[in-house]
Structure 1
Amino acid sequence: MKKHSIIPKAITEYDLRLLRIFRTVVENGGFAASETELGVTRSTISVHMSNLESRMKLKLCSRGRGGFALTEDGQAVYHACIELFDSLNDFSMLVSSLGEELSGELTLLCADQLDNTMQKKLAEVIRYLHQKEPQLHLILDGDSIHNIERALLQDKAHLGLLPSYHQIEGLNYHTIYSEPIYLCCSEHHPYFELEDGEITPEMLAQSPSIHPGIDIDSDGREQLKKLNLSAKAYQFDTRKTLILSGCYIGYLPESYIQNELTTKQMRIIHSDSARYQFNLSMVFKKNPRETHKVELLKTAFHKVFG
């Protein structure tokens, strides 16, 4: 008959210490590779692992000339370790969020590169956050829409700035900024020197153009149907690079190419008809784990963006 582990009966601080060592050994691929991170010798690690196996009454790994390898039970215990320490971390974050003073990280993710106007607005948001809660460790980064949505749902980010073309269950979307997006070409494109009246729908339908790489609203989809979509660029900066090459036409916000328009490196084509609206939303989880931090961010954006 298989003996039962004693750990499920009562997990002690010593058990947690041994499990942390076990996780480190697994993630480093063996005893020798874990010495530096743990700050102890290989023989000490071996003693700790033997103690853990003895307490659990399980064979967790094999170590010898064949190298380090987890047993089937060892793999199960390792995955349980990950869940256990994630839960402990979640508990710690929850408790810290309940105090009067916020602490830890405040994570804000953006789906697109920021133009000058948006950079200044976001700088005002950050200034407000720093004045209110200077002890918070602010993380400002960029990622794809899909990754930002996933991070929000998993409570790995507090707020995202996303185009609000589609909405998914579990997240709230509040539009904070809206502007038109225009069809553009660069000074190296054949259309640059032509008048709008000379650029016919048939010509646009034959010219290589850029798909934004994501689903957009119905007006935008109708505009894209008129073009010969032969390249794809998800973010504004990569899309602008393709357009500046002179090989493609594509849609960009006027604010994002203001310098290129002023210096006559780019132009807008059919500004009255070849356009659609771009809406930027602040997005957050409907029931976030760290409610106070999300409310702080929402207040900051409402004050800056109105």
Structure 2
Amino acid sequence: MTQQRDLDKLGNQLDWNLLRTFMVIVQEGSITAAAGRLFLTQPAVSLALKRLEAQLGRQLVERGPGRFRITEAGETIYREIVDIYGTISRFGILVREIREEISGHVRILMTSRIQTVILDRVLKAFHERHPKVTFRIDVIPSTEVHVALQQKIGTLGICLMREPIPGLASEVLIHQTYRLYCGREHRFFGQTGLELADLQREDFVSFTTDQIDGTLSPLAVFRAREGFAGRIVGASANLEEVRRMIVCGLGIGPLPEHIAARDVADGELWELPPPEGVAPVHIHLIWNPQAKVNRAEKAFIEALRAEVADVPVELRLPV
């Protein structure tokens, strides 16, 4: 009976800061990384984990020299915390929506340098129809967009996606093609008649997600398939920085065709083979069907989906 009374009190006694700390520990995969993300010291994060385990009476993480594993109890608690945290993080928006009645707020999480008339057209038309709706657009890496939407933070994401993500729905918004380019300082600039074989040993600049298990895996597959053996001399998660390194002559590298078009016209970049491009890399509209959304959020997602509903994927072009 005493144990049952203790369990009944647990919900009222839990410290939500401890729960959030544990959530970050799981997401980061280590105490040290979690401390960095939370701007806390490592001992403070370790103490928070011990306090939570003491309150729950369960070991949540098995840790030791070279060992870090989330227990079954930890996995169960983590899933519940993610759901609770998503609801709490959006509580202020829901309260404001009640107060403002028909007005609402739409938060869009977007990867860098998204250029598309599709989004521009929908934003313009939506604002004209619903002038009281407010928007916030945050530019973050695609992988962070995925995590944020799983946690029910933000209305929707516009970003890269390598494969379906559990719990999230998606729609191809933009069909884009990546091509290889070099800057004017590179020895290939201005040369015609080049073949793929001419590029195989050149130094390469690319994205940090240009890996087999990354969001830009088609680029990694292309390099492996075509036998590219040059060094990767520069990498960034930011498209503008990848472009900068190519323009400055560090090496050849991939960019979306529509992003590079202006630089090609201005004589800053030179298009390299193959003529059909390296790979199609789609930009997706992503949202969480389980998230609580206001009327403005629901209407905006529906407006974006309606804009491309009757357009074949290959014709959903950036411009």
Question: Shorter-chain TM-score category?
Answer: 0.5 to 0.7
Q: Aligned to 2:293, which of 282, 290, 294?
A: 290
CA contact (8 A) 2:104 2:295 kept: no
Confirm or deny that 1:212 pairs with 2:207: yes
Deviations 1:149-191 (A, max 9, x none): 1111111111111123222111111001102211111111100
What residue in structure 2 maps to residue 49 of structure 1?
none
CA contact (8 A) 2:152 2:291 kept: yes
Confirm or deny that 1:188 pairs with 2:185: yes
Q: Aligned to 1:236, which of 239, 255, 258?
A: 239
What residue in structure 1 maps to residue 153 of structure 2?
156
Structure 1's 262 and 170: CA in aligned 2 closer, same or farther, altered over 3 A?
A: same
Q: Which amino acid aligns with 2:125?
A: Y
| Corresponding residue pairs, total | 248
What residue in structure 2 maps to residue 139 of structure 1?
136
Q: Percent identity among equivalent residues? A: 16
Query: Matched residues in 1 for 2:91 and 2:303: separation?
Result: 26
Structure 1's 165 and 142: CA in aligned 2 closer, same or farther, altered over 3 A?
A: same
What residue in structure 2 maps to residue 129 of structure 1?
126
CA contact (8 A) 1:172 1:286 kept: yes
Structure 1's 181 and 89: CA in aligned 2 closer, same or farther, altered over 3 A?
A: closer
What residue in structure 1 maps to residue 111 of structure 2?
111
Query: Matched residues in 2 for 1:265 and 1:87: separation?
Result: 48
Deviations 1:257-283 (A, max 9, x none): 121111221111114254211211100
Structure 1's 87 and 169: CA in aligned 2 closer, same or farther, altered over 3 A?
A: closer
Of 219-228 and 141-150, more deviation after overlay is shown by 219-228
Q: Per-residue deviation at 1:90?
A: 5.0
Query: Matched residues in 2 for 1:89 and 1:241: separation?
Result: 37
Query: Matched residues in 2 for 1:209 and 1:98: separation?
Result: 53
CA contact (8 A) 2:105 2:297 kept: no
Structure 1 stretches lacking a partner, 5+ long: 12-18, 24-69, 77-82
Deviations 1:228-277 (A, max 9, x none): 25122223211111100112111112210121111221111114254211
Q: Secondary structure at the match of 2:166?
A: coil
Query: Matched residues in 1 for 2:84 and 2:284: separation?
Result: 35
Q: Secondary structure at the match of 2:175?
A: strand
Q: CA RMSD in A?
A: 4.4
Q: Per-residue deviation at 1:205?
A: 1.7
Aligned pairs for 1:1-306 (under 5 A) are 93-94=93-94, 101-115=101-115, 118=116, 120-195=117-192, 197=193, 199-214=194-209, 215-216=214-215, 219-225=218-224, 226=226, 227=228, 228-230=230-232, 231-290=234-293, 292-305=295-308
Query: Matched residues in 2 for 1:171 and 1:277: separation?
Result: 22
What residue in structure 2 maps to residue 36 of structure 1?
none
Query: Matched residues in 1 for 2:156 and 2:84: separation?
Result: 26
CA contact (8 A) 1:128 1:300 kept: no
Deviations 1:90-113 (A, max 9, x none): 566557668994445310011121
CA contact (8 A) 1:187 1:266 kept: yes
Q: Secondary structure at the match of 1:124?
A: helix
Q: Per-residue deviation at 1:89?
A: 6.5
